[in-house]
Amino acid sequence: MRPEHAERIHNKRLRAYEDSQRKKGKSEKCKLIYLWCKKMTAMWTEQLEEKAESKVTSDVKQESVFLRQTTTDMKPLIKQLKQDKDTTLNPEILDALFILVQYCMMKEYLKAHDIYMALCIGNSPWPMGVTMVGIHERSGRSKIFTNQ
């Protein structure tokens, strides 16, 4: 079997898996995302403590700052996930987070990254190259938004 064909089959299976996972209940999704976030932060904390016991370096200090900032930034999400059925999370965001967590658990990190990027910036077309560098509009700028 050719590698391209195997990859297409794999991608079809992953898309089918995504579709089947999106049909799960809201409370089940919230619970899984919540538990995964807690597990990952606990593992990260444990790794930092092990590093700190052996030797405290600037890298360990910097990583502990990242951990503290991450846990602080995740508090609103964790709070909403705890609410379960009463969560005010947008269903599309909840679905994307759920699929992202599923891919991370399956160690499909590239697929998880794709979901993360789609969640962050969406699938809107992005102009290639630099535009609006000068104060005058360039002739090619108008063609970005049309099918010319």
pLDDT digits (tens, 9 = 90+) for 89-100: 888 888 899 999
Q: What integer pLDDT is reported at residue 75 of this predicted model?
A: 94
Q: What integer pLDDT is reported at residue 7 of this predicted model?
A: 62
Question: Cα–Cα distance between 29 and 18 in angstroms, integer?
Answer: 13
Q: What integer pLDDT is reported at residue 68 of this predicted model?
A: 94
Cβ neighbours around 100 below 10 Å, total: 20
Residue ranges for the chain with pLDDT beneath 70: 1-23, 84-86, 124-148
Q: What integer pLDDT is reported at residue 148 of this predicted model?
A: 39
Q: What integer pLDDT is reported at residue 58 of this predicted model?
A: 83
Q: What integer pLDDT is reported at residue 123 of this predicted model?
A: 72
pTM of the entire predicted model: 0.67
Cβ neighbours around 40 below 10 Å, total: 14
Question: Cα–Cα distance between 16 and 113 in angstroms, integer?
Answer: 18
